[in-house]
Amino acid sequence: MAAPRTVSKCTKKDYAAANAEELLRNYPNPQAAGIDGKVVNARPLEMGRYSGRAVRIEGSATQEAHAYVTDGRLYLVSATSAPGKPLSPDADRFFESFAILK
């Protein structure tokens, strides 16, 4: 069975690529993702001219999430597995398939 994977887009005029580092500094809040757990790894990401942040949360579930800030949008790409279980090898392909085209 494949692990749940999601792509979310939030639109807000305050989002700006120039402010991505500041906006992502305290990302994420595991409870906001519905996970009772903690961030065990976080690292910066880049996609073209856009900055992002990758985080891994472990607790009531295992989740890896990639967040990117563009002008006017925040994209959140995530894959989740059962607690203590590794993410599916398909998760890497899922993350690699995401692209910001504008």
pLDDT, tens only, 16-58: 888 888 888 877 766 666 678 889 999 999 999 999 999 999 9
Provide the pLDDT for residue 95: 95
pLDDT band at 3 (very low <50, low <70, confident <90, very high): low
Provide the pLDDT for residue 21: 85
Question: What is the pTM assigned to this prediction?
Answer: 0.86
Nearest to residue 24, comparing CAs of 3, 7, 49, 45?
A: 45
Enumerate domains of the chain plus CATH numbers: 5-97 (3.40.1000.10)
